Structure 1
């Protein structure tokens, strides 16, 4: 699965002022990211505001992304949840033509045991017709996918990697030390990408790559000097992306780049005037 090395962009879902999906904006965004050098698209993850989309809208967005991508780069599709059977039902009702893998978030809210998390993912991996990438983001799920759990799941033939957004470098090192050689360790935190490469990571699924894909191309594929410079350039702007919630920040950044509007769906709100100005200032160095 070396096609999933480098930068995966966690695509936002552009909205019009009336909250309908902005498909021309989505096309412009996909062209911007691919032309900027991302290695694959991640469709309808957290950054895509999947929690606020209807089943019909999710199918429409996926179909549009596949059309606009036109087989230029691989596509990873977000299918996850805290109701295992509902996830299995969604898999059964999804057309996987053009999809290279799914990204499936660890069950949230329920706070399952580690054994429960293993059973959840095994059920998904046993059913899914394409490979599965785990997604550990304790800040959202309120439960951690422990290193031993990830390593146990890494033995499943249809589980090919993990997006690690725990922020715990020691845990990531434990995974790197014990994982199979072909199991993908992917950073789920833009700022940790360089550190993850140092311990055996293969790339990042990035929020900021929506706006500045060429920076991530340099970070993931440049020489050491280019890569370090790209990583350091994220300081200052990265924290603004989460100041009022994701994807509020990156949508505002995209608005300043004239790629799409910064509309989000409730309960998220557009960036405040203060945050808007901070992002506008920070964006200048990337223009």
Structure 2
């Protein structure tokens, strides 16, 4: 369903703070939301990759929704991830998101199953019919093993099925094809958001509407400065801010070779938030591996270099 106000700006994918016994730490989650709102963000995306949604039970997912949506109380739109393997399972998450009061939902292509673009189209049409609120496609081939093609996305946008795209494909050419196709087909109300923390200035210059940066949990103010500079046409200031954030992003490598990329990156985000006094614990959802003291110290050095602690 098309939205009257396409999303734009900085929409961080909110991390999910956990207590040492792996429950959602709602007090820390509220502090994190306040930190993001103080940074001037334009919306919040809960239950995405940086939220560790794949590791959360349905009960924990609902706690996140109720906590964030209840605290935000309409100050900014809240997009809810409804990510699951197939449409029937996603539709159950949609019902929960609607009951909690989400402003929009975000879904990937089906995964685990082997699907064809025609089936992916049915997947999104089914979700949109059940939702009745804006649906954003999440292009994340590294996790779902399917690349959402520009033609399919634009077809669904023209039908009113999709309100926008979060592009985390890492395919800059594919992103540009969507942006050009949107313009050629007069689909200006279809929002295009980059999920890359590292090339936001380039994406905005190409015509993207905003960014969904995991690192934005740690430094929302920096991404808001970058976005505002780009929108003002001050591309030199945008480039400088992007380069600062590019260097800060190296903290995701703190875990080194002893753990997976996801554990290292999400662990670094949580360690940074803990060091900044925003969340109480850097606990990771199981079975991810937590950073050790030496690795957390590396994160702290990056924060100090970026003047964040």
Alpha carbons of 1:272 and 1:146: their partners in 2 closer, same or farther (altered >3 Å)? farther
* Structure 2 contact 107–136 (Cα < 8 Å) conserved: yes
Tell me the equivalent position of 1:278. 298
Query: Residue in 2 aligned with 1:216?
Result: 223
Counterpart position of 1:193: 200
Q: Name the SS for the 1:235 alignment partner.
A: helix
Q: Is the 8 A contact 2:80 2:97 kept in 1?
A: no
SS, match of residue 10 in structure 2: strand
Map 1:154-173 → 2, pairs under 5 A: 154-173=157-176
TM (normalized to structure 1)? 0.94
Task: Give the counterpart of 2:34 among 19, 31, 34.
Answer: 31
Q: Given the alignment of the two structures, is residue 264 of structure 1 paired with residue 271 of structure 2, yes or no?
A: no
Q: Closer, same or farther in 2 for the Cα pair 1:273/1:112, shift >3 Å? A: farther
Q: Unaligned regions of 5+ residues in structure 2, if any?
A: 256-260
Tell me if the contact between 2:31 and 2:278 (Cα under 8 Å) persists in the aligned partners. Answer: yes
1:117 is aligned to 2:120: yes
* Structure 1 residues 128-183: Cα deviation after superposition (integer angstroms, max 9, x where no partner): 12110000011111111112221222212141110011111111111111121111
Match of 2:132, SS? coil
Give CA-to-partner distance per residue, 1:163-217, whole Å, 9 cap, x none.
Answer: 0111111111111111211111100111121111111100111101111010011
Q: Does 1:248 align with 2:267?
A: yes
1:102-131 deviation digits (Å, cap 9, x = unpaired): 111222232422222111111111221211
Structure 1: tracts of 5 or more residues without a match: none
1:54-65 matched pairs, under 5 angstroms: 54-65=57-68
How far 1:2 sits from its partner (Å)? 4.2
Secondary structure of 1:81 counterpart: coil
The 3-state SS of whatever aligns with 1:102 is strand
Residue 135 of structure 2 is aligned with which of 132, 136, 141? 132
Contact kept, 8 Å, 1:215 with 1:230, in 2: the verdict is: yes
C-alpha separation between the residues in 1 aligned to 2:20 and 2:206?
44
SS at match of 1:4: coil
The answer as to whether partners of 1:136 and 1:145 remain within 8 angstroms in 2 is yes
What is the RMSD computed on CA atoms of the aligned residues?
1.7
Q: 2:114, 2:289 → 1: CA distance?
A: 27
Q: Provide the rounded CA distance (Å) in 2 between the counterparts of 1:150 and 1:233.
A: 33
Q: Structure 1 stretch 95-104 or stretch 17-26: which is displaced more? A: 95-104
Task: Write the distance in 1 (CA, Å) between the matches of 2:109 and 2:250.
Answer: 24
